[in-house]
Structure 1
C-alpha cells in the first residue's frame, strides 16, 4: 500500500478546528495538498501558517456551506488552481443542544444547511469534477447519532440520519464514474464540539480525533479494487454506540 498522498488535492470542510484540523494535518503530512474550506478565517489561516512552516502544502478558502454559489466557486477554483480535485472530506457540522419545544425554526434550518444540505452541495459539484476525471474519493463524516438517539439533539440526529442515507445513495451513483464514497461513523472525540458544550463530560471515555484522521488516511491509501462503503470508529469506553 502506498503510504503517501503526494499529488492529491483534498478539500476538508470545517478543517480549521477539531476533527477537521486533525484531518488537515494528517493528510498534509502524508503528502497531500489540503484546502481548508471554512468560515473561521482566523483559525484556518493560523493552521495554514503552522503547517506551511513545517513544509506542508495547505491553503485556506472561505467556504459557506449554506451558500450554493460559495460551494460551487470553491470547488471550481480548486480544479483550476491545482489541476485536479481528488478528495472531498465532508466534515463540517453544527448542533443546537435544546429540547424540541425550545429549538427555533431558524436553528433547525441552520443545522440542516450545514450538516445535510452542505454535503449535498459539495458532493453535487465535486462529483461533477471527479466524474470527468473518472477518479476521486468522497468521505462523509457521519456520527453514532445516525444509529440511535438521545435527548435534546433532534436536529443533529435528523441531519446525521439523513446524511447516512444520502451517503449510501451517493455511493451507488459515484461508483459508476470511478469515484469512491465512504460514510465514516465517528464516536465521541476530544474536540470542542463536545468539550465546549458539555463541560462535565469525561474526556477519558472519548477518543483522540487523530485516531479518526488516521483511519481516513488509510482509506485514501487503499489502492486495491475493494471499497469500504461505511466504517465506524469509536472509542473503546464511550457508550454512544451500542
Structure 2
C-alpha cells in the first residue's frame, strides 16, 4: 500500500484525511505543529507523526527527510497545511502577517514539492496533491494576502505538473470551496464537511493508472460562483 505524507494533519481536512487513509490501509505520515494532537492522532490510527512548524524553512526540508527515514519512501505528498491570520484591508496588513502567510501557504508547499520531486524521480512514480482554495479563483476584498499566496501556489502547481509528468509523477491542484473547519472562528454547518473533502482526496489516489486529474474545483451547494 502507498505511503502518504499529509501536512496540516492535526485538524480539519488534514485530520480527516489521515483518519480515512489509515482506515483504508495506507501508510500515513502525519505532520502538524501541535505535538499533543499528533500523539492523539497516532494513538487513534497507528500512523507515523512528525512535529514541524512549516513557517521555518529548515523544518520544512527536514520534514520530508524524516518522513522518508520513517517509512522508507513516500509515494504521495498532500500539501494541505494553510493559514489565514485574519481578514483585513490592504492598508492594514502587517509585514509579519505577510511573511508568515508566505512561509506557510506558498514557500512550504513549494519546498516540499521540490523535495518530493527529488525523491520520486528515481522511482519514476509518485503523486503530489496541492490543496489550494477557490479563493485562488476569486478576488475577495479583505483577503488580499491570503489570495496572493494561494494564487501563487496555483501557478507553481501548474508548472510543477508539467515538470513532473514526464517522470511518471502525477500532480493535482485542488480548489475546495467553503469547508466547516476550525480555520474559521465560527462554525459553518452549511459548508462542506472536512470528511467529504478527505473522501475526494482519497479517491484521487485510486484513479486508474492511465488518468491524471490536473485540476479539480468543488464547492458546497450554498456557493454558486
Deviation of 1:222 (Å): 1.1
Deviation of 1:44 (Å): 1.4
Of residues 226-235 and 78-87 in structure 1, the stretch that sits farther from structure 2 once superposed is 78-87
CA RMSD of aligned residues (A): 1.3
1:8 alignment counterpart: 2
Deviation of 1:150 (Å): 1.4
Between the aligned partners of 2:89 and 2:179, the Cα distance in structure 1 is: 23
Q: Secondary structure of the equivalent of 1:140?
A: strand
Deviation of 1:26 (Å): 1.1
Between the aligned partners of 2:101 and 2:198, the Cα distance in structure 1 is: 23
What residue ranges of structure 2 are gaps of 5+ in the alignment?
A: none
1:131 alignment counterpart: 121
Deviation of 1:51 (Å): 1.7
Between the aligned partners of 1:45 and 1:155, the Cα distance in structure 2 is: 32
Residues 1:157 and 2:147 aligned together: yes
What residue ranges of structure 1 are gaps of 5+ in the alignment?
A: 1-6, 53-57
Deviation of 1:12 (Å): 0.7
Between the aligned partners of 2:95 and 2:63, the Cα distance in structure 1 is: 28
Aligned residues: 224
Between the aligned partners of 2:75 and 2:142, the Cα distance in structure 1 is: 37
**Following TM superposition, where does structure 1 have runs of at least 4 consecutive aligned residues deviating by more than 4 angstroms?**
none
Residues 1:228 and 2:213 aligned together: yes
For 1:106, which of 87, 96, 102 is the aligned residue? 96
Give the TM-score taking structure 2 as reference length.
0.95
1:190 alignment counterpart: 180
Between the aligned partners of 1:78 and 1:193, the Cα distance in structure 2 is: 25
Q: Secondary structure of the equivalent of 1:193?
A: coil
Kept in 1, the 8 Å contact 2:38–2:51? The answer is no
Give the TM-score taking structure 1 as reference length.
0.89
